[in-house]
Amino acid sequence: MSEQEAQHAAHAKHHYDHPKYRDMIEEALANATDSKGMAPTTIIKYIKEQFKNLPGDEKQIVQHVRNAIKLGVEENVFSQPKGSQGRVKLRNRTHSASLRPKTSRAKVTKKSE
């Protein structure tokens, strides 16, 4: 194995000391007190306070959070009712369960005597 391949393999196996940004955003939204959701800047502040060991500088963290929000909206994990710069909400996962068709009970007819 060449030196370049060894360096590439070492980078591919890197494990971070923090959870995925999507998971951190979900935690921030779960702890939100406002039912309207949280602004992206508030999410970033929460993540910085809770996770002190984030690699990179301020700009990288902001970019990672924005990308995670964008992917979460595409995957229907988060919603942004006011647009891409608006508040972020955690989608209600039980909503799809309430859309199941209700089973109707068999009607009981009384026999006349």
Render 25-85 in DSSP notation, one character per residue. HHHHHHT-S-TT-B-HHHHHHHHHHH-TT--S-HHHHHHHHHHHHHHHHHTTSEE-TT-TT
Q: Which domains are assigned to the chain?
A: 16-92 (1.10.10.10)
pLDDT string in tens for the chain (113-residue length) = 567 776 666 666 666 677 899 999 999 999 988 888 999 999 999 999 998 888 888 899 999 999 999 999 999 999 998 888 899 999 875 544 444 555 566 666 777 76
* Predicted TM-score of the model (pTM): 0.66
